[in-house]
Structure 1
Amino acid sequence: MILFTVIEVAFYISTAVTLFILLLPSQYEPKRRGSGNDSNEPKTTAQVLVLGDIGRSPRMQYHALSIARGGGQVDIIGYAESEVHPDISSHPKISVVPIPPHPRFLQTSNKLLFLLVAPLKVLFQVFSLWWILAYSTKPAKWLLVQNPPSIPTLAIASLVCFFRQTKLVIDWHNFGYTILALKLGDAHPLVRVSKWYENVFCRSATAHLCVTNAMASVLRKEFGLKAPILPLHDRPASHFQPILEERKREEFLLSLPDAAPVRSLLKEGKAKVIVSSTSWTPDEDFSLLIDALCHYSEVSSTTNPQLPAVLAIITGKGPQRQMYVDRVSRLQKAGKLSKVTICTAWLSTDDYAHLLASASIGVSLHTSSSGVDLPMKVVDMFGSGLPVVGWSKFEAWPELVTDGVNGKGFGSSKELAEQLVDLLGNPGKLEKLRDGARDASSYRWDDEWAPVAGKLFGLD
């Protein structure tokens, strides 16, 4: 009986080991040629992974485009929820690999049911990522991963890269644990576990890219990373361009359906457009802008009637959108926004670029959970020659904006209101900032990417 049990156990173990070996992901083999024609071989192969909507991840799309334009073959992997950059969908060297959405039975707003389905959603996401990275896509030389989100991305990416002999590169946009701390607080056990997880699994990377010098310093000093850490600042892509002729800017604004309530004022020069792009998340407190616009409306209706009316166009999608839309509606009914019209919009890539180039002021509400990341929306605004007012009370802000040259900073809704009153009431000051923003637009994404990431990937 004992002998039979030992043989039985040995059989199951050997079967499990055999299946494990047979199901191992295929390895990256640079010497294998699919076509037999060297001239058709890409200079490199890469996978670009974002555990989010590809269409709302411009930096990762720019990475994919730069690799492809440099002669590489790229799979860009993520959720296909919105329109991607048109050059992504048309480029012959880029394949979009969608991550499947959660099944309907795992999608619920019921809090009690959420506790039951949440673990199943995580398991589904883990399986989907593993299957795509390990089996349904061909092995690549490089895997470029956006962080955050770090869970479960970093663990799965590290394991896949180990088996496939792929080089892992992490592109740090922020830290996952600091974003979690916005909800739970710095001392929460889950925040500590998240920081430990991020610290452990990032160590398998061959190299690290990050959006600021300040972030690179944190990775070196607090994370103690030994692999190369390469700051790669966000820069505008080529489709963000200033529109120099005021007549063309006005024509575009008048063509927008959202401009209908103030169209006559725009024609008469008695209204200005401000634009803000937000992800409607806790690290972008939209109430700052609402309160500032209420104050602006009061000042322009009482003490300074010469101020123009304002059309505020807010672009983006996110979880807190409806909450703020309802609040704006209540304020409008109460007469708190008599000189201000606020509307939300989701625009095509080209229309968004034209809106930035045609508006008078861009507003950034990004408050930075870590203090060392930067909002890419400001980069796009500068690329379009749009001066910016933004939340400036964090360490990395001066790496992007030179106060009084291409933008202005604020640290409260009162300060934001004062900036809007000052700039919209003084066209000369606003035009000076616009000149500074146009100067900032001259340095582009490819100029930044080629000597840093291009050199890393062997495409310089």
Structure 2
Amino acid sequence: MAASYVVTLALSIYFPLLLLIAWKRWRRGRSPRHVVVVVLGDVGRSPRMQYHALALARRGFSVTLLGFCIGPSILQYGIKVVFQAVHLLWKLMCREPATYIFLQNPPGLPAIAVCWFVGCLCGSKLVIDWHNYGYSVMGLVHGPNHYIVLLAKWYEKLCGRLSHLNLCVTNEMREDLAENWGIKAVTVYDKPASFFKETPLDLQHRLFMKLGRTYSAFRASSEPLDPATERSTFTEQDAGSGMVTRLHGRPALLVSSTSWTEDEDFSILLAALEKFEQLILNGESFPSLVCVITGKGPLKEHYSRLIDQKRFQHIQVCTPWLEAEDYPLLLGSADLGVCLHKSSSGLDLPMKVVDMFGCCLPVCAVNFRCLHELVKHEENGLVFKDSEELAAQLQMLLSKFPDPSGKLNQFRKNLQESEQLCWDENWKQNVLPLLMDT
């Protein structure tokens, strides 16, 4: 009861003040080149919205980027939603009125309704960028038929129709929005930022030496004859010439980026690694592996304990938290990427694979409904459904490692020759004209 009184008191104080601010803003008018980009969550985990903000700024728009913490899980949904609504409303109204409000969904509760309301007061046009469905993400925790999930679906479907423009990440999501939600959207595929690219060998060596100071997987197992020569697990730099070369017999570098959540089943990768290790123990000719799993999340400690229990002899598993500038360098240095992302709706695509492809890194990805819009099986990577298939794919791709004639290198060449657009050029072609027309 006390919480409801607090909420009622807050609303009674805030709304008259907000209406006064809105009237003053309306009298003054809005800037034709101001855009507010809203993420009701961690902006650091929303690269697509960051890229929107950068692209807008490069085209001469004044950009305000609003990011909000989700709030403690101990709060009840109702209290949390009201608090977030009032907070977001206050932040939007205290800023210069914008021509456009770009909003990421999910999370869209309560942000869609709040941004639409502010748009009505200030004359801003609401642009929703559909990354997924919020209700389907909630369904992973509560189940698809929970009343909170059903309420969230009703809200998302109703309020999603209030926008002036809708963007989405796949053609299948565009079709689903049209058929089941009555929302017309434009597909804007995720593309890598320009800094996701293949890493030159000298920068690879510098990265490996840096990581080796903290993580043993990157440190050389033997010292070079010349003490002035630098050696990592993968590379060596000549003391005299400074030339960097790859070590003969080096391990293969496998990278997987994960959020360590239930919708990314890390046990699939762990079981596949066990099968691969057993092949080496049985005397088959495969390289050893360094498997780097980046990211942080609620299940990281759980799986770290499982990794320690395996006591691999030919596989080293490393779970670092990388500095932002090191992540693209690592992808550009790796031999193979593994993606465990499974969409809650089946309609979004993993950004981590987009980044890997930007670095011309072939990928093995767990299959789901619309993955084919990104990963072309047997062309730029492979698709698997379980640990058995992933283990077989690792065997096939690494059977001739590092032979240039192997399948792994062919996938890399296909990526190099695909000449895919970077994010900024893709945005210029597909999003900017839409803003000019609305």
For residues 291 and 161 of structure 1, do their structure 2 counterparts lie closer, same or farther at Cα, with a shift above 3 Å needed? Answer: same
Of the candidates 341, 345, 354, which is equivalent to residue 329 of structure 2? 354
Pairing 1:81-92 to 2, within 5 Å after superposition: none
Pairing 1:187-198 to 2, within 5 Å after superposition: 187-198=145-156
For residues 163 and 271 of structure 1, do their structure 2 counterparts lie closer, same or farther at Cα, with a shift above 3 Å needed? Answer: same
TM-score normalised to structure 2 length: 0.84
Of the candidates 294, 303, 315, which is equivalent to residue 294 of structure 2? 315
The aligned residue for residue 379 of structure 2 is: 405
Of the candidates 336, 340, 344, which is equivalent to residue 365 of structure 1? 340
The aligned residue for residue 256 of structure 1 is: 211
Asked if residue 235 in structure 1 is aligned to residue 191 in structure 2, the reply is yes
Asked if residue 129 in structure 1 is aligned to residue 129 in structure 2, the reply is no
Of the candidates 356, 362, 382, which is equivalent to residue 387 of structure 1? 362
Asked if residue 269 in structure 1 is aligned to residue 249 in structure 2, the reply is yes
> Quick one: distance in 2 between partners of 1:144 and 1:237?
19
SS of the aligned residue for 1:146 comes to strand
Structure 1: unaligned runs, 5 residues or longer: 1-14, 34-42, 80-98, 109-113
> Quick one: distance in 2 between partners of 1:17 and 1:271?
62
The aligned residue for residue 421 of structure 1 is: 395
Fraction of identical pairs, as percent: 39
Of the candidates 62, 68, 78, which is equivalent to residue 67 of structure 2? 78
Q: What is the CA-CA distance between 1:18 and the residue it aligns to?
A: 7.0
Q: What is the CA-CA distance between 1:296 and the residue it aligns to?
A: 1.4
Residues 339-359 of structure 1, C-alpha deviations (whole Å, 9 max, x = no match): 211121222232111100000
SS of the aligned residue for 1:457 comes to helix
Q: What is the CA-CA distance between 1:121 and the residue it aligns to?
A: 3.9
> Quick one: distance in 2 between partners of 1:327 and 1:63?
39
Q: What is the CA-CA distance between 1:388 and the residue it aligns to?
A: 0.6
The aligned residue for residue 20 of structure 2 is: 22
Residues 310-358 of structure 1, C-alpha deviations (whole Å, 9 max, x = no match): 1111111222222222222222xxx3x2221112122223211110000
Please tell me whether the aligned partners of residues 161 and 182 of structure 2 are also in contact (alpha carbons under 8 angstroms): no
For residues 442 and 32 of structure 1, do their structure 2 counterparts lie closer, same or farther at Cα, with a shift above 3 Å needed? Answer: closer
The aligned residue for residue 446 of structure 1 is: 424
The aligned residue for residue 170 of structure 2 is: 212
SS of the aligned residue for 1:458 comes to helix
> Quick one: distance in 1 between partners of 2:17 and 2:217?
66
Please tell me whether the aligned partners of residues 253 and 358 of structure 1 are also in contact (alpha carbons under 8 angstroms): no
Of the candidates 423, 437, 447, which is equivalent to residue 415 of structure 2? 437
For residues 377 and 25 of structure 1, do their structure 2 counterparts lie closer, same or farther at Cα, with a shift above 3 Å needed? Answer: farther
> Quick one: distance in 2 between partners of 1:67 and 1:247?
34
> Quick one: distance in 1 between partners of 2:164 and 2:125?
6
Structure 2: unaligned runs, 5 residues or longer: 1-12, 222-232, 235-246
SS of the aligned residue for 2:181 comes to coil
Number of aligned residue pairs: 397
Name the aligned partner's letter for residue 382 of structure 1: F
> Quick one: distance in 1 between partners of 2:20 and 2:296?
43
SS of the aligned residue for 1:349 comes to coil
> Quick one: distance in 1 between partners of 2:323 and 2:109?
30
> Quick one: distance in 2 between partners of 1:25 and 1:204?
22
> Quick one: distance in 1 between partners of 2:188 and 2:318?
34
> Quick one: distance in 2 between partners of 1:437 and 1:170?
31
Residues 146-169 of structure 1, C-alpha deviations (whole Å, 9 max, x = no match): 011122221222222222211001
Asked if residue 174 in structure 1 is aligned to residue 132 in structure 2, the reply is yes
> Quick one: distance in 2 between partners of 1:439 and 1:26?
55
Name the aligned partner's letter for residue 251 of structure 2: A
The aligned residue for residue 89 of structure 1 is: none
> Quick one: distance in 2 between partners of 1:213 and 1:409?
19
> Quick one: distance in 2 between partners of 1:418 and 1:301?
16
**Two-structure CA RMSD over aligned residues (Å):** 2.6
Please tell me whether the aligned partners of residues 361 and 388 of structure 1 are also in contact (alpha carbons under 8 angstroms): yes
The aligned residue for residue 139 of structure 1 is: 97
SS of the aligned residue for 2:305 comes to helix
TM-score normalised to structure 1 length: 0.80
Of the candidates 280, 303, 308, which is equivalent to residue 324 of structure 1? 303
Of residues 214-223 and 286-295 in structure 1, the stretch that sits farther from structure 2 once superposed is 286-295
Please tell me whether the aligned partners of residues 198 and 360 of structure 2 are also in contact (alpha carbons under 8 angstroms): yes
For residues 165 and 298 of structure 1, do their structure 2 counterparts lie closer, same or farther at Cα, with a shift above 3 Å needed? Answer: same
Q: What is the CA-CA distance between 1:251 and the residue it aligns to?
A: 5.0
Residues 357-387 of structure 1, C-alpha deviations (whole Å, 9 max, x = no match): 0000011111111111100111110111111
For residues 28 and 328 of structure 1, do their structure 2 counterparts lie closer, same or farther at Cα, with a shift above 3 Å needed? Answer: farther
> Quick one: distance in 1 between partners of 2:24 and 2:271?
56
SS of the aligned residue for 1:317 comes to coil
The aligned residue for residue 56 of structure 2 is: 67
Asked if residue 185 in structure 1 is aligned to residue 146 in structure 2, the reply is no
For residues 382 and 29 of structure 1, do their structure 2 counterparts lie closer, same or farther at Cα, with a shift above 3 Å needed? Answer: farther
> Quick one: distance in 1 between partners of 2:215 and 2:397?
21
Q: What is the CA-CA distance between 1:23 and the residue it aligns to?
A: 4.6
Q: What is the CA-CA distance between 1:411 and the residue it aligns to?
A: 0.5
Of the candidates 301, 313, 316, which is equivalent to residue 281 of structure 2? 301
SS of the aligned residue for 1:289 comes to helix
For residues 307 and 16 of structure 1, do their structure 2 counterparts lie closer, same or farther at Cα, with a shift above 3 Å needed? Answer: closer
> Quick one: distance in 2 between partners of 1:150 and 1:170?
9
The aligned residue for residue 262 of structure 2 is: 282
> Quick one: distance in 2 between partners of 1:450 and 1:22?
38
> Quick one: distance in 1 between partners of 2:58 and 2:169?
22
For residues 25 and 208 of structure 1, do their structure 2 counterparts lie closer, same or farther at Cα, with a shift above 3 Å needed? Answer: farther
